[in-house]
Amino acid sequence: MNVPQVHETLQCHYPTCAVQITSAILLKVGNLVKLERKAIVCYISPMTDLFLATNNPGKIREYEQLLAPLEVRLWTPRMLGLEITVREEAASYVENARIKALTYVQASGMTTLADDSGLEVDALDGAPGIRSARYAGPDANDADRYQLLLQQLEGFPWEKRTARFRCVLVLATPDGEVYSTEGVCEGIIAFEPRGSHGFGYDPIFFLPEYGMTMAQLSPEVKNRVSHRARAVQEMLPILSRVLAGQTRHSRKGADGQSHLSS
């Protein structure tokens, strides 16, 4: 490929690009590069980018599997060095997720998927609900939270321990589009924790149709029946459409013009 002489460095900072042209030396990784009037035009690869508004390793593992059909490249705050504290103090899952999505879409410049989820126990009037992650205090771990819940349900018979996991997803684009979906999984709070898979309240969330807790399910089964899986299934058609329209991006070149890939 013949590259005309360029007397300056042009670097694309779009996350998927590893493209740099300096003094007629072309370096590229996975992307096609075209020069027009000393401008760099990047064609992103078929795999598109999606920012996940979480550093929770359990959620990230699940999203990697749940979003696999889209062949997207996932980014997290830690991967981009973003240290942002989002106060989840809204009165609903959808509003908490919306706040996270809008915060990170602005910070990352990428289409962003955020969620808020919780465990709703009927005998506790829906608690812990949107406070599920903070139920036992800011420094508590998963075991602290579900052990507290078990203590509060002491004496409640099996039929009074009905509960559900709820997950709300919010997708936000740099262009200002916002979409939301919801998934619910019904179950019963077990009398003791069982299982080593999953995270959060999974060890005490019993699924009668499977005869085991969420933490006893294989990841493959959980990712078909969980609240997060159901929310993602509702979101997949929206994600497919939104990301299909983002397979190109522009960068202003040395001539001051915006050059759009096609």
| pLDDT (mean) for 149-177 | 97
Q: Which domains does the chain have, with CATH numbers?
A: 9-45 (no CATH), 48-244 (3.90.950.10)
Structural Rg of the chain based on CA atoms: 23
* Catalytic member of 49, 115, 116, 202: 116
pLDDT per residue as tens digits for the range 76-126? 999 999 999 898 889 999 999 999 999 999 999 999 999 999 999 999 999
The two tokens of residue 84 are: 């942002």
- 116 tagged catalytic: yes
pLDDT of residue 135: 93
CA angle 84, 222, 48 (to 5 degrees): 50
pLDDT per residue as tens digits for the range 112-136? 999 999 999 999 999 999 999 999 9
Residue type, 241: R
Chain mean pLDDT for the chain: 82
How many DSSP H helices and E strands does the chain contain? 5, 15
pLDDT of residue 87: 86
Measured over all CA atoms, what is the biggest interatomic distance in the chain, rounded to whole angstroms? 79
pLDDT of residue 187: 98
Residue 22 has pLDDT above 60, yes or no: no
Residue 244 has pLDDT above 50, yes or no: yes
Q: In terms of Cα–Cα distance, which of 93, 138, 135 is closest to 228?
A: 93
| pLDDT (mean) for 27-38 | 37
Q: In terms of Cα–Cα distance, which of 246, 176, 249 is closest to 14?
A: 249
Q: Which of 7-16, 21-30, 94-103, 169-178 has the lowest mean pLDDT?
A: 21-30
pLDDT of residue 43: 38
Confidence of residue 207 (pLDDT cuts 50, 70, 90): very high
pLDDT of residue 14: 44
Q: For residue 119, what are the β-bridge partners?
A: 129, 165
| pLDDT (mean) for 206-221 | 96
pLDDT of residue 71: 85
